[in-house]
Structure 1
């Protein structure tokens, strides 16, 4: 799933810089979306979501811990209230959302998982309207209708083949998307105040600690002994589907701004759909393509509204 990102830059961007930043954003989105495919491969070795996420965090934790220590030494200490906020954000935004996501992937296709997660901006919009009483515009209603109709289309298609398991998996991933939407809403002010790199590093450390503690609380330590293929895939999951996308997204935002980088992320569901077919043998049908197109159209409509008046040229 996508990381919290700062606001767009305020000056026009040279074409060469923009194209380079766009390429980085697209590559980061594809890598992050590949997480679902790697998880499905890992499940073939009969590990569960608790073990999968523990290995992912074990391998990625040293990098985020190093960044967190660097930030602790080079920047002013956080206020006590901010420390509690980051603790809550780390547990909700990375630990809970990741755990629910990997639980869902045990039951549904990688393509459906990515489409549901891609609804996160619409959940942010809905929560803002319900909690903060912000009215929803006509364009936003159109975006919501397109996105959810696309999801229903793919869900009904997959439900015919997966039955109750598909419904259960979709609910888990839906919970993941909602929890991450809560994280995004809660992190907006902190990103502006302490910076996205510092927030992500701290939150990922908290998530890592929670995921690893959960493993030792619920599973015997002997499950750490796995075939070499599990270690290899977990290392790929940590480096190429977690660490690289986080930093690539930040570099892209610095170069081309948040709106353009966010739109580049729209390649995620498409790449997952075809990677699932190529690597996992998941079918790509006309219904899935139509549903994916509707979701992308809805998110694009929503992102265009947010981009109006931006400085990226």
Structure 2
């Protein structure tokens, strides 16, 4: 059964169910976007991306492992081919994408990071054009143009402001968005066959093992000893910015459908912009607001056509 669609998509949702689903989707998007702010706070304690992502997965792994074990005991075993596909998807979508994202956050603002990641649907479309020869309508090209103009506007603004190595950081986050786009393309068919909860739990377990193994291969074990705020922030990163958003997004999709949940998730870049200002002291300028608006309008128009 497809877990990513409401039970009867043709029937209009009751208002209470719609409000509940939208609330869950918005809360999940805000929490997931907050990981960039938490990462910036962690970087103040002079840890690097390898250590940050290892702590994130150390704290979140037990929950996803418990869900994975439950699914293994209650559902038929996967084929060898599906197991290898999940390994590949976990390494691509939750290991590589997350690692590149946190690398990028060492160099750029949380507002620019969230906007670049929000371009993931445009990468999915462009990959479909390049690989599967999909035809793109003029409205879709216009939506793409608006979104990329918004990114360029914010990027040039941050570059002029001297906010670290904006070019390097933006390239890392672009790589993160691209990796996640390939994950989305590769996971679509598996979600329909094995369910979103099972796929996410298995893929997150793969990612957790990869991130923790990477830490022990590249860093001394002594780096596991950190000041208490690092542990608390890492726990918050794992629980409130990883575990909760994953399950909340799936719950929202099940209630109101993927399209509506995706549109509700557009609050993410806006919330990140203002959280960055509130908690990190990053400025919110008219240029950033204009760029954010262009990106949101572009992605919204694209979501209506896909």
Q: How does 1:96-111 map to 2 (within 5 A)?
A: 96-111=96-111
The secondary structure found in structure 2 opposite 1:12 is coil
Asked if 1:132 is matched to 2:132, the reply is yes
Alignment of 1:140-179 (within 5 A): 140-162=140-162, 165-179=165-179
Q: Which residue of 1 aligns with 2:276?
A: 276
Q: In the TM superposition, what are the counterparts of 1:114-129 in structure 2 within 5 Å?
A: 114-129=114-129
Cα distance in 1 for residues equivalent to 2:164 and 2:42: 22
Displacement of 1:6: 2.1
C-alpha contact (below 8 Å) 2:60/2:239 kept by paired residues: yes
Q: Distance in 1 between matches of 2:3 and 2:285?
A: 34
Q: Residue 249 of structure 1 corresponds to which residue in structure 2?
A: 249
SS in 1 for 2:47: coil
Aligned 8 A contact 1:5 1:258 in 2? no
For the structure 1 residues 163 and 284, does the alpha-carbon distance in structure 2 shift closer, same or farther, using more than 3 Å as the test? closer
Q: After the TM superposition, which parts of structure 1 deviate over 4 Å for at least 4 consecutive aligned residues?
A: none
Q: Using the alignment, how far apart are the partners of 1:108 and 1:227 within structure 2?
A: 25
Q: CA deviation at 1:232?
A: 0.2
CA distance in 2, matches of 1:5, 1:146: 32
**CA displacement at 1:13 relative to structure 2:** 0.9
Task: Provide TM-score, normalisation by structure 1.
Answer: 0.95
Q: C-alpha deviations, 1:120-176, integer Å up to 9, x for none?
A: 000000000000000111111011000000000000000112277110000000000
Does the Cα contact within 8 Å between 2:143 and 2:297 map onto a contact in 1?
yes
Distance in 1, Cα, partners of 2:151 & 2:282:
17
The alpha-carbon deviation at position 303 of structure 1 amounts to 0.9
Following superposition of structure 1 onto structure 2, how do residues 179-198 of structure 1 map, counting pairs within 5 Å? 179-198=179-198
Matches within 5 A, 1:19-168: 19-162=19-162, 165-168=165-168
Does structure 1 retain, via aligned residues, the 8 Å contact 2:94–2:204?
A: yes
Query: 1:12 Cα shift?
Result: 1.8
Matched residue SS, 2:173: helix
Number of equivalences: 303
Q: Does structure 2 conserve the Cα–Cα contact (< 8 Å) formed by 1:5 and 1:196?
A: yes
**Displacement of 1:70:** 0.3
Q: Which residue of 1 aligns with 2:4?
A: 6
**Cα contact 2:60–2:243 (8 A) shared by 1:** yes
**How far 1:255 sits from its partner (Å)?**
1.1
Cα distance in 1 for partners of 2:127, 2:168 equals 23
Aligned residues of 2:107 and 2:164 also touching (Cα < 8 A) = no
Q: Unaligned stretches of 5+ in structure 2?
A: none
Aligned residues of 1:109 and 1:282 also touching (Cα < 8 A): yes
**In structure 1, distance between residues paired with 2:142 and 2:132:** 21
CA contact (8 A) 2:3 2:254 kept: no
- How far apart, in 2, do the equivalents of 1:173 and 1:5 lie? 29
Residue aligning to 1:260: 260
Task: Using the TM superposition, give the Cα deviation of residue 5 of structure 1 relative to its aligned residue in structure 2, in angstroms.
Answer: 7.5
User: Is the CA contact (8 Å cut-off) linking 1:150 and 1:294 kept in structure 2?
Assistant: yes
**Retained in 1: the 8 A contact 2:108–2:164?**
no
Question: Does 1:212 find its partner at 2:212?
Answer: yes
SS at match of 2:161: helix
CA distance in 1, matches of 2:51, 2:185: 29
Q: Deviations over 1:263-302 (max 9, x none)?
A: 0000000000000000000000000000000000000001
* Structure 1 unaligned regions, length at least 5: 307-313
**Deviation per CA, 1:202-248, whole angstroms, max 9, x where unpaired?**
00000000000000000000000000000000000000000000000
Q: For the residues of structure 2 that align with 1:127 and 1:256, how far apart are their CA atoms?
A: 27
Deviations 1:12-71 (CA, angstroms, capped at 9, x unpaired): 211111001100100000000000000000000000000000000000000000000000
